[in-house]
Structure 1
Amino acid sequence: MLALAVPAATAEAAPADPVPTVFFGDSYTANFGIAPVNDMDKPRGWCFQATENYPAVATRNLADRGITLDVQADVSCGGALADNFWQEQQLPFGAGTVPAQRDALKQDTQLVVGGMGGNTLGFTSILKQCSDKLRGDSGVLLPGGAVDPDKPAGECKEFFASGDGKEWLDWKFQQVEVHLEDMLMMMSYFSSGAERVLVGYPRLVPEDTTKCLTPAPGQTEPPFVDIPEDALPVLDQVQKRLDDVMKKAAADDGADFVDLYDHTGTNTACDGADRGIGGLLENSTLDLFGQPIPWYAHPNEKGRDLQAERVTATIETVLNR
């Protein structure tokens, strides 16, 4: 794991008692792609929640700093939409459902941590709009389809710049804003004394997109496979806009925000040996029925540790102030 450059909490500042905590979120909190997976013998195994996800790593990091979290639940689940915070989530391939994530909140919960919004935005549909490979069998595990499958993947930059594509994107961002606002308000309602920490998403595409044309060490395909290079800045702009929306939602509701986007610019999917994001079709450490599952641009172990580092620092600050 990465060495964390986080100052140790003093004995005087650290909370004296374990802090009742709930983690929530989507695949970036569950850390899809990292094996082994919790509850694989139950329907909830289809959440692909890593046993060693960033909530687990951050909890250990905090314990090393004299802060003990009493984790009441980690209900993060791959594919979760923001409205799955208050509505049950349908699992893939008819595996059943999992309860609304807010059901884990208790009146004595003092800390709520996690992130959602990318699936509400439809980021996988954006990826599929720009990739023929993801529109086919390679993207079968990714929820949703291309925004407009009649438009060629190679024209996705133009599609999102104007007309129906731009209107769709603006509408999805409006959804994200409203759902994040509702989610944060519900946290305060169900756990009125809780500190709330909204965690953003790590950066996927670097400023220098030419780095994305070279396969990572040991790989044969570029990190974003057949997505045109001129569309990569579009993905980055969408990510930055989502980061800004999440940051504003947290600020407007008095919650704290972990800005991963601004701290992972040298660990994108295109940063070779330093990448903290697995390439779209790069094999992760998971397999399904004996077949390897791609990372689909999720944090690898290095990326997970970067998430945990920032989350650890933010929780420490929140609980010691």
Structure 2
Amino acid sequence: MSSATRQTTTTPRARRLAAATLALGSCLALAVPVGGAAAAPTDPVPTVFFGDSYTANFGIAPVNNMDSERGWCFQATENYPAVAARRLKDRNITLDVQSDVSCGAALVHHFWESQQLPFGAGTLPPQQEALKDDTQLVVGSMGGNTLGFTSIIKQCSTKLREPSLMPGEPVDPDKPAGECQDFFTSGDGKEWLDYQFERVEGELENMLLRMSYFSPDADRVLVGYPRLVPQDTTKCLTAAPGQTELPFADISQDALPILDQVQKRLNDTMKKVAADDGADYVDLYGRTGTNTACDGADRGIGGLLEESKLELLGQKIPWYAHPNEKGRDLQAQHVAAKIEEVLNR
């Protein structure tokens, strides 16, 4: 299948109908049913989870398939899809999880293109291959890696530009980290950021259309990202209990609002794309403002250089601002609530 081009139609029904033209060599538009289940199902709901490291819950151990190439996805055995499925089962809603193909470092286009794993560990098939004709629910998070959030963080940090501390490159290594606030609000930095958001929006539209094509009866739930930076950034000037590093390492307090604005814009973009295409959206950003990386004992996000539960070659891997167990449980809580709402519609 070739990559779908960005759609110019605007209504959810038009987008759904356009999805039917994605078959290789097909010139025939097929009618795609629109609408969710009338009531909570009594039978198990065939479900596929997709996504990046926030769905896989990078940083939480143990990891699924550690002895295979998929171990490099760092997908936690107890990631939020697994925890949400248990919460739903307690409410008499059973998910028949056909696949959880979430993988760390996944870009949106890895939904329809293969993903190269790090260190030459292999190649994973496109995530869309997990979708079946009888899949009734598709849930997950995508967009942060395509936006380049790691590069944005590195642009604002001198310390994290050291290759051994965090993968990836800053947007412009010639610009000092201390100038990142101005960099992203004017000139080339702003132009780069605006382009990245256009790219994310277009690729998310493509992804949702593909879900409708491969699983025409499925409800689609796009899950936003939890909030990283609090409204009161003075909280970020204190290390969390038991930690020596600040939650955002050497990123200055003046730069933290930029990170927050970028993250909110990403979530707003995801929400808009979901609404435009008739999909559902889970607003984690708006519900995790008191569980940011800077909320001490209540933090739901591990600090950039705080040791996670994972080890690689005998060394602890940092959280790199991913949900810890508390954050994972918040993800699961809100995702389960949305799934229950969707299936009871």
- TM-score, scaled to structure 1: 0.95
Match of residue 124 from structure 1: 150
Residue of structure 1 aligned with 2:256, choices 220, 232, 255:
232
Matched position secondary structure for 2:254: helix
Match of residue 77 from structure 2: 51
Cα deviation code 1:4-49 (max 9, x no counterpart): xxxxxxxx95311100000000000000000000011011100000
Matched letter for residue 114 of structure 1 = G
Matched letter for residue 182 of structure 2 = E
Cα deviation code 1:243-283 (max 9, x no counterpart): 11000000000000000000000000000000000000000
Confirm or deny: 8 A CA contact 1:14 1:66 kept in the other structure: no
Match of residue 67 from structure 1: 93
C-alpha RMSD over aligned residues: 1.0
Matched position secondary structure for 1:230: coil
Offset, 1:87: 0.3
Residue of structure 2 aligned with 1:176, choices 200, 212, 217:
200
Cα deviation code 1:174-213 (max 9, x no counterpart): 0000000000000000000000000000000000001001
Residue of structure 1 aligned with 2:117, choices 82, 91, 95:
91
Matched position secondary structure for 1:40: coil
Pair 1:28 & 2:54 matched: yes
Match of residue 304 from structure 1: 328
Match of residue 204 from structure 1: 228
Count of aligned pairs: 308
* Unaligned runs of at least 5 residues, structure 2: 1-37
Offset, 1:137: 3.5
CA distance in 1, matches of 2:99, 2:231: 37
Bigger mean CA deviation after superposition, 126-135 or 68-77: 126-135
CA distance in 2, matches of 1:139, 1:197: 34
Offset, 1:138: 4.3
Matched position secondary structure for 1:229: coil
Matched position secondary structure for 1:257: strand
Pair 1:273 & 2:297 matched: yes
Could you list the runs of 4 or more consecutive aligned residues of structure 1 that deviate by over 6 angstroms after TM superposition? none
Matched letter for residue 290 of structure 1 = G
CA distance in 2, matches of 1:273, 1:40: 30
Q: Structure 1 residues 127 and 242, CA, compared in 2 at 3 Å: closer, same or farther?
A: same
Matched letter for residue 29 of structure 1 = T
Matched position secondary structure for 2:96: strand
Matched position secondary structure for 2:98: strand
Match of residue 37 from structure 1: 63
Matched position secondary structure for 2:292: coil
Pair 1:113 & 2:139 matched: yes
Residue of structure 1 aligned with 2:215, choices 153, 174, 191:
191
Pair 1:221 & 2:251 matched: no
CA distance in 1, matches of 2:113, 2:104: 15
CA distance in 2, matches of 1:222, 1:138: 18
Q: Structure 1 residues 77 and 125, CA, compared in 2 at 3 Å: closer, same or farther?
A: same
CA distance in 1, matches of 2:245, 2:86: 36
* Unaligned runs of at least 5 residues, structure 1: 1-11
Residue of structure 2 aligned with 1:134, choices 149, 154, 160:
160
- TM-score, scaled to structure 2: 0.88
What does 1:230-269 correspond to in 2, within 5 Å? 230-269=254-293
Offset, 1:139: 3.1
Matched letter for residue 226 of structure 2 = P
Matched letter for residue 60 of structure 1 = R
